[in-house]
Amino acid sequence: MAITLEKMRADIAEMIGEEPEAIGLDDNLMDLGLDSMRLMNLILIWQEAGIDPDFGEFAESFTLAAWWDAVQARQAAKPDAAG
């Protein structure tokens, strides 16, 4: 199962109690209330959805744009399980 940008935005919004529309691609998610514990919870959610995000990589840049780039790279590198 692929993760979409909008799923990531919605998951982050739910984690910090915001509306998804309030989260911009380049917003600093720490400034919006996301801390390392919430990040670990998001990573668990996304692992269950089929990707394996790296905590260290996500902790380097707390923006949705950077995280989406990392997720896209992981999804592109992952072999298609259906094929």
Total of domains in the chain: 1
Q: Rg for the chain (alpha carbons), in Å? A: 12
Q: Is the pLDDT of residue 36 over 60?
A: yes
**pTM of the complete model:** 0.88
Tokens of 3: 């993760």
Read off the pLDDT of residues 44-58 as tens digits, 9 standing for 90 and up.
999 998 888 888 889
Residue holding tokens 């692992």? 47
φ, ψ of residue 39 in degrees (nearest 5): -60, -45
Q: Which helix (H) or strand (E) holds 29?
A: none
C-alpha to C-alpha distance for 16 and 42, rounded to whole angstroms: 11
Residue-range definition of the domain harbouring residue 19? 5-77
Residue holding tokens 């919605």? 10
Q: Is 67 inside a domain boundary?
A: yes
CATH number at residue 45: 1.10.1200.10
